[in-house]
Amino acid sequence: MDQDGASHRKIRFKRRDIKALKKFPSAKGRAHRVLRRSRLARLIRWSLSAIVGFAVILAVLVLGIQMLGGSAVGQDRLRLEAQKALTALAGFEVRADMQDLRLVLNDRSLVALEVRELDLSQAETGKMLIKAEALRFGFRLLPLLRGKVEIGSAEIDGARIDLDNLSNRRSEESDAPFWMRPIEPRSMQGQFFDGLRRAYALTERTGTRYITLRDVEVMTGGETGRNVRVDLQASVNRTGKLAFEGELTLGERSVTVNGEAQRPKPGGPINSLLVEVALPRNHLFPLKLSRQVYDTAPRNRLDQMKLSLTGSETEIGKGELAFDIAFKGLTVDLREDGVITGDGQISARVVEDAEAIAIRRANLVIGRSEYDFNGSLGLIDNDADGRPVYGFDLVSRKSTVAADDVQEGEVPFAARMSGRIEAASGRIIGETIRIVTGAGQISASASVTLEAGKSPGLSLAVYASDLPTAEVKQFWPWFAATGARNWVVANLFGGRVTEGNLRLRVPPGRLGDGHPLRDEEVSGEFKVSGARFDIAGTIPPVRDGIGMVAFQGVDVDVSIEAGTVYMPSGRTVAASNGTLAIRNANVKPRIGKLGIDVAGDAPAVVELASYEPIDVSSVLDLSPADVTGTVKGHVVADIPLSDGIPRDRLGWRVQIGYEDLSIAKPFDGQSVTDAKGTATIEPHRAEISATARLNGIPAQLDLVEPLGKAEGGRQRKVTLTLDDATRKRMMPGLEDILSGPTEVGYEDLGEGRRKISVKLDAAQLSLPWVNWRKGAGIPGSATFVMEEKGGETSLSDFVLQGQTFGARGRLSIANGSLASARFDSARLNRGDDFAVSVDRRGKSYVVSIKGDALDARSVIKYYLGKGGQSAAGDDAASGNGLELTASLSAVSGFNSEVLRGVTLTYASAGNAPGRLKAGATARAGGKITLSRGNGTVDATSTDAGAIMRFLDFYANMEGGQMRLALSEAGKVLSGSVAAQDFFIVNEPRLRSLVAATEKGTGDAEVDATRVRFERGFSNIRKAGGSLELNNGVLRGPLIGTTFQGRLFDANNNVSITGTFMPLYGINRIFGEIPLFGNILGNGRDRGLIGITYRLYGNLDEPQLEVNPISAIAPGIFRQIFEYR
């Protein structure tokens, strides 16, 4: 016969099948008693005989089994017995397709029927029930020896079982998998005990006391059902005790199962039940990592998990079930978010006719937190598709929450949660969640969606109001907005959350997929008051703060509406309008952007800015003790939120406004007090704009100062308001050309060069070499670059600007005095176009003026003006010598007169009147000359009217020749002036005299609009700001006059008296008569008829007074009527 099949049967060994060596007989100790030889020999002979006899019986039995199984008659009998056994096992008619049957030895029944490659299906429907590699039925030995076949055990190897078809459910029952079928608590314990009774009935029906399943895959039904691999041994003894043990494997997770049930009476109630399901260590989170990468992988572990089921029946259909689930040593490594450890236990009870499963205790300990609930779970309804919906209601009277990463103490609370479970869709919905603490409450709703092979989906909405910040931190779920939570836990303390909410909505498979939550998946905000905000680094926290923490996705925004920063020194700074923006909080390195307004005393603000990560003191040598005043500002800084960020990657900026700021320590050698302005300080530069007092001088500062190791970029713009004394101390040598208050701008250009800008509106600017000045109140400005080298100061790029004046050039100052000046382009009045050069030679200045045009009115006023200084002593008074040369194409004077081809030379030693020589041509071609020297001044003009108008001496003279001859004695000029053949045109006072004469004499009218004079003469004396006339006379064909008096004095007043004589050509004949001439012509007047007059008042608008009676008093009698 063919023996190959039996010799190659696959055998599987479990760990429990391997016995310890100490249990084998060979490990037992030798007997200490020594038998006598005769008794030992008899024992050996008896033992050998028994062994040989048993072997012979066994060999005969095996031979018989082989002969019976191999014959055709034997095969038919075996198939019949197998069919009966399979029908009895299924409980209904089945059809069995068997490839091979044989009788084999069995460890339990000695003889067993082995069926190879079995396909078992329902006889009626043809549905597959079991496909097995091998199925063995063990026969009881004694009945088999008597010719009766009774099955004592059953073994299935390598099988696949369809549990739904094998259960022979009726067609009207649900096709859903068993875990999706409604579970009604009132019938739950009955269904469970009924299942046990069916197991008892199976053993009774088949007579089988032992059932073994090896490598059996149980199909649980449904398209999404997951198959369970089963390895199980079960037995029933004669006393009704059902015992089983084995291992169930679902995917990669395995559990061990063992238990026992006791039914003393066949068909009676089951009076005890105990089932224990245990999870092997670390099988909840199987790790498939090599040793090389394990150190960087999450360390997830579950030391122990156990499900215990106990129950009993008082009578069939009436009893109770109790569930107890416990786990210990749960460790979940969340990497950056820490490690969660926990233990838990759930105890539940079900009794007959109960509406819900009573959860007696649900205790969960996670880290330092402990949650203790009780409640109920039961079927409440079916959905539209008839799928079950369960409701739950859990209550905790005393639980505590204490997150591992929260410093504050644990928070006791009471809570209630109610909701429903939609098993078909895998959703657990917490419709109402209310948490009550001793200080406030939290309301929430949540839902969990479970999908096979994916992480749970989660939806969460939380609302809190008027709750201590510490409690909110404890209740904030670690998986919701991790970045925002981490910041709040580490940096927010005390105070209360006046209002807060959190929204989380993620689909299944989203959590743990390696990507951060998006904006639409998580968001929330918490408004706080009276809290402490820790900012960063060593910066003192903001206390008594009012603000808000808002988050969305991986972005966090912290705002501080108001608060106070308390420094260790006791100083305080008011903080407001603060923001801390954290973008991509899930990415390292994490850097926040801080912006906050600060206000307080200057020492407090400086101290605040000296803390890390800003640390202004590291780049600016300034301590709190060095400053006084008040400061308001805005601080912007990069805040490191993770370790290992280099400081040079952190930017910051401090923008402040200050008042009454004074710095005790000199700043760049300057004392700064009473400052008001703004400053912007960054790691590499500081920008300052302020009004202050520099060394006691009012100033406007605009500075850019490089800080730390920064090079270049230094800018100094300082505007000083200087009076004469201050300016002389700072910029000596300018007092000769500048006086009065000025605003001086100062800009440091580096390398000893400074750009100076001067606002001259309130100052007087003078150019003594050309006798010009800009008066106070006339807008003007000057800019130049000042550079000091070896005691010499140069003013380059000099630009003087005004509405009607300007100059461009350069100056040099040495030893406190002007050394040289070059003005390539200059104008003192509109229309000017000339250049000036000045050089100092010893104690003298050499001045050269060249150009196309010059308005000389200011020079004329200075030298010849009424009340002006005499030219005689100017240079002597100054003590400086002067050499002046000028060559100008045109020189403008008064009354629109222009002299052409003007040349001038002047030289003075500084201690005596200088020598002057000048020449020009009038508009009509008349020549003009002027010379001064050796104590005399001589001037001639062939166009006397032009020079008189040019000098603004008398505008109504036309034509004529004039000669001036004066002598100098100190500051006094005296001499005479004479003119011939000239006209007086449109002189109103002359018309008045003519009119008065005509009324007195009745003579015909004289045309006074243009009157010719043959000669004019007067002695003159100029001294002390006045000009006196003596023996003055004007003679013409028609009229004449004599005069004497003061033409002007220091107050610009005129006082002249004289006699006006009409028809002077005839009238003077009477004065020529011998003997009677002096009587008839009044001597000097030489006229018979004359009118005395007086000219007085302001020279610009003088008053004329005449005496008409004097016209009828001839000759000598007129003296009676003269003005005195």
pLDDT at 1109: 56
DSSP string, 198-263: HHHHHHHHH---EEEEEEEEEE--STT---EEEEEEEEE-TTSEEEEEEEEEETTEEEEEEEEEE-
d(CA 965, CA 973): 10
pLDDT at 1120: 46
**54/313: higher pLDDT:** 313
Mean pLDDT of 480-491: 87
Mean pLDDT of 618-647: 84
* 73 pLDDT above the threshold of 50: no
3-state percent breakdown (helix, strand, coil) of the chain, nearest 5: 20, 50, 30
pLDDT at 867: 46
pLDDT at 947: 86
Mean pLDDT of 478-498: 88
Q: Beta strands 210-219 and 151-162: pairing type?
A: parallel
Short-list 602, 542, 607, CA closest to 569:
607
Strand, coil or helix: what is 1107? strand
* 437 pLDDT above the threshold of 90: yes
Strand, coil or helix: what is 196? helix
* 999 pLDDT above the threshold of 50: yes
pLDDT at 58: 52
Short-list 959, 967, 963, 904, CA closest to 934:
967
Taking only the tens place, the pLDDT of each residue in 202-239 is: 787 777 888 889 998 888 665 545 688 999 998 998 88
Mean pLDDT of 543-551: 94
Taking only the tens place, the pLDDT of each residue in 827-847 is: 888 888 999 899 988 888 899
d(CA 201, CA 267): 8
* 538 pLDDT above the threshold of 90: no
pLDDT confidence bin for 587, thresholds 50/70/90: confident
d(CA 523, CA 504): 7
φ, ψ for residue 296 (rounded to 5)? -100, 0
d(CA 1115, CA 1070): 9
pLDDT at 196: 86
Answer for the pair 1109, 1090: CB distance below 8 angstroms, yes or no. Answer: no
Short-list 1069, 1068, 1063, 1106, CA closest to 1085:
1068
Short-list 557, 556, 537, CA closest to 642:
537
Taking only the tens place, the pLDDT of each residue in 353-373 is: 777 889 999 999 988 899 999
pLDDT at 287: 39
* 590 pLDDT above the threshold of 60: yes
* 801 pLDDT above the threshold of 50: yes
Tokens of 234: 């079960």
DSSP 280: P
* 61 pLDDT above the threshold of 70: no
pLDDT confidence bin for 1117, thresholds 50/70/90: very low
The four Cα atoms 856, 862, 864, 865 give a dihedral, to 10 degrees, of: 110
pLDDT at 40: 63
Q: Whole-structure pTM over 0.85, yes or no? A: no
Strand, coil or helix: what is 317? coil
- The rounded radius of gyration (Å) of the Cα atoms in the chain is 64
Q: Beta strands 253-262 and 241-250: pairing type?
A: antiparallel
DSSP 74: H
Mean pLDDT of 428-445: 93
Q: Is the peptide bond before 640 cis (omega within 30 degrees of 0)?
A: no
d(CA 631, CA 688): 14
Most trustworthy range by pLDDT among 21-30, 442-451, 711-720, 984-993: 442-451
pLDDT at 293: 36
DSSP string, 962-1019: EEEEEEEETTEEEEEEEEEEEEEES-HHHHHHHHHHHHHH-PPP---SEEEEEEEEEE
Q: Give bridge partners of residue 375 from the DSSP assignment.
A: 359, 394
Most trustworthy range by pLDDT among 751-755, 839-843, 1077-1081: 839-843
Average pLDDT value for the chain: 80
d(CA 482, CA 554): 8
**762/222: higher pLDDT:** 762
Mean pLDDT of 881-899: 89
Mean pLDDT of 1109-1118: 51
pLDDT at 1068: 55
pLDDT at 222: 53
SS3 of 490-555: HHEECCEEEEEEEEEEECCCCCCCCCCCCCCCEEEEEEEEEEEECCCCCCCCEEEEEEEEEEECCE
* 14 pLDDT above the threshold of 80: no
Query: With 0-12 CB in 10 A as exposed, 13-18 as middle and 19+ as buried, what is 798?
Result: buried
pLDDT confidence bin for 78, thresholds 50/70/90: low
Mean pLDDT of 3-10: 47
pLDDT at 878: 52
- The upper half-sphere exposure of residue 386, i.e. CA atoms within 13 Å in the direction of its Cβ, equals 5
What contacts 43, CB < 8 A, 6 or more positions away?
35
Most trustworthy range by pLDDT among 409-423, 531-545, 861-875: 409-423
pLDDT confidence bin for 563, thresholds 50/70/90: very high
- The upper half-sphere exposure of residue 194, i.e. CA atoms within 13 Å in the direction of its Cβ, equals 7
* 1087 pLDDT above the threshold of 80: no
pLDDT at 24: 57
Answer for the pair 1043, 1057: CB distance below 8 angstroms, yes or no. Answer: yes
pLDDT at 1079: 44
pLDDT at 225: 56
Instruction: Give residue for tokens 């603060």.
Output: 578
pLDDT at 365: 93
d(CA 1047, CA 1045): 7
Tokens of 1040: 């004449």
pLDDT at 571: 93
* 817 pLDDT above the threshold of 60: yes
**993/40: higher pLDDT:** 993
Mean pLDDT of 280-295: 46
DSSP 180: G
Taking only the tens place, the pLDDT of each residue in 122-155 is: 877 778 888 888 888 787 766 666 656 677 788 8
* 71 pLDDT above the threshold of 80: no
Percent of the chain scoring above 70 in pLDDT? 79
SS3 of 366-390: ECCEEEEEEEEEEEEEECCCCCEEE
Short-list 656, 655, 663, 653, CA closest to 624:
663
